[in-house]
Amino acid sequence: MQTMKRSLQLATLVCAVVFVWALVGVAASAQAASKAPRLTGLRCVPTTAKACRHGVRVAVGKQLQVRGRGFKRAMRVSFRWPKGALAARLVRSRAGWTVRVPAGTALGKVAVTVRDRAGRRSNRRHIVVAASSPLPPLSATRPGALPAIFAGNGMWIWYVARSEGGNLDAIALRAKAAGISTVFVKSADRGALWEQFSPQLVADLHARGLRVCAWQFVYGEDPVAEAGAAVASIAAGADCFVVDAETAYEGRYAAAQRYMLTLRAAVGPQYPIGFTSFPYVDYHPRLPYSVFLGPGGAQANMPQVYWKAIGASVDAASAKTVANNRIYGTPMAPLGQSYDAPAAADLRRFRAVWAGYGAGGLSWWSWQASSAAAWAVLSEPPPAPAALPDPGWPALDKGSSGDQVIWMQQHLASFNPSVVVDGKFTAATQDALKAFQAARGLAPTGETDAATWQTLLTLALRPVDWTAARPRG
């Protein structure tokens, strides 16, 4: 009986092993049969475009028809040039497989490849990316300039005790050597104040020649309490205040509106407030940028352009940031990455690029994470502004969704009050946009381009009460 039992166990084990090996063989065969996507051609959309009579020449934001085999929905199409790369999603449309040249792509010769989910890349094809419009100043779409407190160079402090050991004399000396005029010190998290930010700290840093701004990380769970902590931070003597809203705030439009209304009611419309968050607006469509940067919101847009953490070059990350943030019209003063040992050349390039874009100020994250080598580079004289092409504008069309659509709809509703502001680019939104374009002498394409955006942004913004309505995007 025992021998039979062992024989049955052995037979079962052998069968299991054979079955597993069979599955492995099937998977291996499937993997072998699957090939990397193959790119056989690129064409303009429409294919009759005059610019494409002698090769593929296309502007940022315009569509390309992608021909080949092995394609599937949502594959990524990469656009590469010597100083960077950006990617966009492959989609299926009436024109076949198409992709839009992403905002921020460099002008000139660009290599195009398709990548599947396994990370395999197709062969390369090349296009020429052409300019679509002249580059206006970053603040051109909204009256007013960057508040003086945000101008120049700044450094962010998370923990004072971990910045020069909390020695304020050492902080002042290093700041002066690096040309840092403003320190941004954390003062609150949610509705709770941090003890490190006090009237005494502000007075002591002021006495050492530094401007001092407070910043708060917010979540949107209790916006009134968070606004109260912001008001208390400002009352401690802060020269400016910055709201840091990230993933936790996605979808919280009503909370963002309550927070800003409560804060502005307490400090007034002129007190300098900045807003910092993710730089790629199109990657975070549910975050209420349009509230924080809208009327009664921040006067400084401070996107976190951490190129190394993003996995992009300085040029690519910065261009995409400008292209996707410029629609809000709020002057930009970006955060650069001084943590995680960025290359000295990248630190220099960041300063040159944003000087080229006309940014009146920039700052760095963060004091405690910046190495001696990074500080040495920041202490160098500012480089000459880089000569840069126009990075483009967000290309929205039917099926798009998110905060950029909300911002567009709020302006479009001033032209056509029937437009529903819900973050969904529907057929009705497209019809309204076509009518607007035709009325303004623009090509009625039903999609946004440089000329459409710049014309739309001259319209008044229709206010939305988010406490009574919620975007679906």
Residue 471: what pLDDT?
57
Residue 45: is its pLDDT beyond 90?
A: no
- H and E: helices and strands count for the chain: 13, 18
- What are the backbone angles phi and psi of residue 202, rounded to the nearest 5°? -60, -45
Mean of the per-residue pLDDT values for the chain? 90
Residue 458: what pLDDT?
95
Give the C-alpha separation, 447 to 400, whole Å: 10
Which superfamily is assigned to 148-378 in CATH? Answer: Glycosidases (3.20.20.80)
Helix (H) / strand (E) element for 192: namely strand 192-193
In degrees to the nearest 10, what's the CA dihedral of 302, 153, 351, 332?
30
Mean pLDDT of 35-45: 91
Residue 14: what pLDDT?
43
Mean pLDDT of 353-362: 95
- The token pair at 187 is 């003062």
Which CATH class, in words, describes the domain spanning 394-473? mainly alpha
Predicted model pTM: 0.87
Residue 29: what pLDDT?
43
- The token pair at 393 is 């504008």
Instruction: State pLDDT tens for residues 183-226.
Output: 999 999 999 999 999 999 999 999 999 999 999 999 999 999 99
Residue 24: what pLDDT?
44
Residue 346: is its pLDDT beyond 80?
A: yes
The single residue listed with the structure tokens 């193959």 is 38
* Beta carbons within 8 Å of 85's beta carbon, 6+ residues apart: 78, 79, 312, 313, 316
Mean pLDDT of 236-257: 98
Residue 74: what pLDDT?
81
- CA distance between the termini of the chain: 67
Residue 143: what pLDDT?
47
Residue 175: what pLDDT?
98
Confidence category of residue 469, pLDDT binned at 50, 70, 90: low
Mean pLDDT of 386-400: 93
Residue 384: what pLDDT?
96
Domains 38-130 and 148-378 share a fold: no
* Beta carbons within 8 Å of 94's beta carbon, 6+ residues apart: none
Nearest to 352 by CA among 313, 324, 323, 392: 313
Give Cα separations from 58 to 129, 131, 324 (angstroms): 5, 9, 19
Give the C-alpha separation, 470 to 301, whole Å: 24
Output the CA torsion sign for 271, 272, 277, 279. Answer: positive
Is the CATH number 2.60.40.10 carried by domain 38-130? yes
**HEC assignment per residue over 218-230:** ECCCCHHHHHHHH
Residue 27: is its pLDDT beyond 60?
A: no
Residue 17: what pLDDT?
43
Instruction: State pLDDT tens for residues 270-287.
Output: 999 999 999 999 999 999
The domain spans of the chain are 38-130, 148-378, 394-473
Instruction: State pLDDT tens for residues 285-335.
Output: 999 999 999 999 999 999 999 999 999 999 999 999 999 999 999 999 999
